[in-house]
Amino acid sequence: MTLAATPRTPAPAGDLARDLVAGFPFPFPQPTYRYSTNVEPARGTVTTPAGQWGDVVVDVDSAYAHELAQRADILRRDPSRYAVLPHMEVACWDAMVHLMRELALADPTAFSLETVSAPGAVRPAYRWRNALLDVDHTFTLGDAATLPAEPLAWIASQVQEDVVLLDERDGALFGDAGVVTFAADWSFGFDVGMSFLEIHGPVPRIHSEGVITRAQEFIRRLQPNETYRRTNWTLTIGRRLDVSTELYPEWGPDRTWVQTVDDATFGEVVHLRTEVQHLIRLPESGAVMFLIRSYLLPFAELALVEPWRVRTAEVLAELPEDMADYKGVATYRHRAAAWLREHGSTR
């Protein structure tokens, strides 16, 4: 892959909406970071120095319309970000209905799913309402002609999360369907159909330490409707959700460019990126739905929350080199740690 000749200067965060700071899922409970399964039951509220997060599985915030517009644009330019293998049709319907119910739980004033089928109907019919997008639509479960798009594609246009559906066969998990427009240095179009272990092949340490094998076994033991979550993190230059490998020529050079900028610009363009990942065993198909919601917080905002500033600097400074290299932060993480140490809160 050839790098772009001249990197495009990434946009700074600008004026970040307050709810995006208050709801930011800070990913560092300890001053050091190592790969682990780090799963916990979903829906538990996490209180932070800035606010709270975690009480819902599908999160809707002030970036909803903007992020969905980004997803639609990415899919127009690159349809490979959406893929469904033929045997996953039932799982896609299962995922769609489950996500509708999660949206209705998250905000019943904006979303609702109502059963409208007649008693004794062979297939249930539903009325789905999404007031934020002005959607009011009735459909019959399993009847593609009653939907405006394929079920997984349609519901993915209404949630901010990326969605991957894992099928289980021969004692292993496979990523056989999904909509992933906000990947952090990976490619769903390349990975679709691969096993769980193959998808995570490039990640350092997790194979030799048994982390990925334990993770797969944990997922395989999930019971219908059981929902767990974990967090992951990296750093991103600019407020860019789509840092997929397909677009590496656009964003890869920023890792070099950012080393040359002044301190003020550094704080505006370097973002801590947290993924909140949910694992859900779908009740009808038995597939596992893997949701990935990505959140970005610029260092300029992060530094205003004193415990976050101190902890992030500690983690970045101590991070082993192989892990820093895999996360793509090796070239500037020491400057990032130093920047955080020097820029305490002025509030």
| Maximum pairwise Cα distance, the chain | 68
- Sheet strands side by side (includes 172-179): 40-41, 227-237, 270-281, 288-298, 162-169, 172-179, 82-84
Q: Which of 127, 205, 220, 230 is catalytic?
A: 230
230 is a catalytic site residue: yes
Tokens 């909803």 correspond to what residue? 64
User: Torsion over CA of 185, 189, 194 and 196, rounded to 10 degrees?
Assistant: 40
- Nearest CA to 37 out of 220, 290, 232 is that of 232
DSSP 95-163: HHHHHHHHHHHH-TTTEEEEE-PPTT-SS-EEEEEETTTTEEEEEETT-GGGSSS-HHHHHHTT-SSEE
For residue 160, which of 130, 177, 182 has the smallest C-alpha distance? 182
Q: Which residues are known catalytic residues?
A: 230
